[in-house]
Amino acid sequence: MIRVLIADDEALVRGGLRMILEAQPDIEIVGEAADGRAALELATRTHPDVVVMDIRMPNLDGIEATRLLLSSGSPARVIVLTTFDLDEYVYDALRVGATGFLLKSARPHELVGAVRGAVTGDMLLAPQITRRLVESFVRRPPPGGRASADLASLTDRELEVLRHIACGRSNAEIARLLYVSDETVKTHASHVFMKLGVRDRTQAVIFAYEHGVVERVESSHR
């Protein structure tokens, strides 16, 4: 059973999310919060697997609530809710550890899929949205800067897998491109996450763009 905490300052939004998620046999709602501070307190008591967190809330916004929750050592996965996909607040939330984001206009099956995907560690964002978002707000290191020691610790094959992850490819797609099994790709990906100190694929994408592992898509269109 996937334990979910819902945090949104609008009661109607919380009710709608609860109705959609509670209809699933493998999802249980463990609490609702109207602001970030209440979400933190509830998460401490209920230990959710997934927190569906609105970005803009009173008292404590979703970004700071996400940062505090994950820095406390909570294993919960955070899915942030927003109105617009190209939103700097979303990028900030991903940088502090959110696994992914959903538009408030998302369809019910997308919400359910995101919650399940958060638990399994699958990429929550469509590849084109991931790239657009990260490329819009990423702050690249200055030219000539030294590569991260963590990045230098990757083997050539792990670096190759990281590039494919950053381009939004699934494990199955990477396996086909590299002529290896899905399990081999999963093993390489796990090593990449461990060496880079990132929680999941979304964090790996951000790391890859910020450290110049992949070039910005817009540069290829010039």
Domains in the chain, ordered, with CATH? 2-124 (3.40.50.2300), 141-217 (3.40.50.2300)
C-alpha torsion angle, residues 87, 93, 97, 103 (rounded to 10): -60
Residues 51, 82 contacting (CB under 8 angstroms): no
- Pairing of the two strands 27-33 and 2-7: parallel
State the DSSP code for 25. T
Cα 200 to Cα 32, 34, 42, 94, distances in angstroms = 25, 27, 24, 11
What is the full DSSP assignment across 29-60?
EEEEESSHHHHHHHHHHH--SEEEEESS-SSS
pTM for this structure? 0.80
Q: Using one digit for the tens of pLDDT, what is the confidence trace for 59-95?
A: 899 999 999 999 999 999 999 998 876 667 888 888 8
Q: Please tell me the distance from the alpha carbon of residue 85 to that of residue 104, in angstroms, as a whole number.
A: 10
Q: Please, are residues 66 and 25 in contact by the beta-carbon 8 Å criterion?
A: no
pLDDT at 219: 43
How confident is the model over 34-48, as a mean pLDDT?
Answer: 96
- Position 192 scores a pLDDT of 96
Where is 87: in which H helix or E strand? Answer: none
pLDDT in tens, 124-168: 565 556 666 666 766 555 444 445 788 889 999 999 999 998 887
Per-residue model confidence as pLDDT tens digits over 201-221: 888 888 888 888 876 443 433
Percent of the chain with pLDDT over 90: 55
% of residues, the chain, pLDDT over 70: 84
